[in-house]
Structure 1
Amino acid sequence: MGISRHATAHWEGDLKTGRGQLSTPDSGLMDKTRYAFSSRFGDEKGTNPEELIAAAHAGCFTMALSAKLTEAGHPPTRLDTQAAVDLSMEGGPSLSQITLKVEAEVPGIDEAKFQSIAEDAKANCPISKALSAVPISMQATLVG
């Protein structure tokens, strides 16, 4: 049996004027965090599904990259990743693009090896695999 994680969603009202809450009861990361039409499609304070997908993808990819770099004998000093999830409204809402931008400090690795390992992590982290229907691009920058 594998590991199971969960989150909950509660919604009241119609799509445009309703309000909801998202929660991750086991971790406490979100305790009844507010979300609404206006926090998803506008600029009202609150979260949205795309932001949460971006957070999950950034975290998963960064852990995978750390593991793969370490396995290759180059444990990273630091990895900073930003994930952007684009929501297209053409033909109805859909995810149109995910962009990962990582800045890495990895002693003793050359650029080509770093890029190869980063591409492998992008292709094989569990969240990338789950989101494989969406184009995923990556900009990996080696610093230091």
Structure 2
Amino acid sequence: MGKLRTEPKVKPLVTDAEYKHYLSILQEAQSCAKEHHVYWDLEDGENPSKIRKGFMYVAEKEDLPVVVRRERGTRSLSFSFKEGEKVVSNRMSAKESRGRIVSALEDAGRPLQKSDIISATSISPSTWNIRIKELIDEGVVSREGDRRDTKYSLIKK
């Protein structure tokens, strides 16, 4: 006669040893996060997506209030810990990024190109594409020209 065997329906993303390692890193990061920005620098050959998923898996199991993001243009992950319900992060809100675009145009007092606005506001190009479309649709900003000759200006009310 055979015997009963059970296996998890979903295999864990990490081994027990990796789990303990990730947990100790997250706990140390959380203790430093109130006074510092906290990053995990990846080694060559490490898969950023897999490492991020490992951290998030452990954080969820341990009920640690953290968001792990890949830092654009680097081989690093950033840790943003929540205080209460609010995430402590360097991420910019939609309202803030739209406000920065409007402020840059106001300060210049003349039409600006996309590259000028991005440098003045520290907004990423992907965020720019979303926020400028919203401002144009709302009738706050106008667009003149095509492609590289495109300039943006405030619509005076």
Q: Which has the higher Rg, Structure 1 or Structure 2?
A: 2
Higher relative contact order (CA 8 A, sep 6+): 1
The structure with the largest helix share of the pair is 2
TM over 0.5: no
The structure with the largest strand share of the pair is 1
What is the TM-score with the length of structure 2 in the denominator? 0.25
What is the TM-score with the length of structure 1 in the denominator? 0.27
